[in-house]
């Protein structure tokens, strides 16, 4: 609500979230369904990709390193 009051968010979106927070499970499902039909559903955050673990070059089996 503060962001909407300062112009950082749309007032309609702030109102939707306020209604969503106060709604029971059935009302929440209806709000989500209505928002999806009207295209005003809040955007989902993208997941960050996990970094692949670095390969350790010292643990590999090197035939030349055998004593």
Q: Check residue 57 and give its pLDDT.
A: 60
Print pLDDT tens along the chain (67 aa). Answer: 888 888 888 888 889 999 999 999 999 999 888 887 766 555 666 778 888 887 766 655 555 555 5
Q: Are 16 and 40 in contact (CB under 8 A)?
A: yes
* Whether the predicted model's global pTM rises above the 0.75 cut: no
Q: How far apart, in Å, are the Cα atoms of 2 and each of 7, 28, 34, 43?
A: 9, 22, 24, 19
- Predicted pLDDT of residue 43: 61
- Alpha-helix residue ranges (DSSP H) falling in the chain: 2-5, 11-22, 25-38
Could you tell me the two tokens for 15?
Answer: 């109102």
């Amino acid at each position: 609500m503060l962001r909407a009051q300062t112009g950082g968010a749309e007032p309609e979106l702030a109102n939707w979230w306020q209604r969503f927070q106060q709604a029971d499970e059935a009302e929440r499902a209806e709000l989500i369904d209505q928002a999806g039909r009207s295209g005003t559903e809040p955007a989902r955050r993208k997941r960050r990709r996990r970094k692949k673990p670095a390969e350790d070059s010292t643990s590999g089996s090197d035939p030349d390193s055998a004593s």
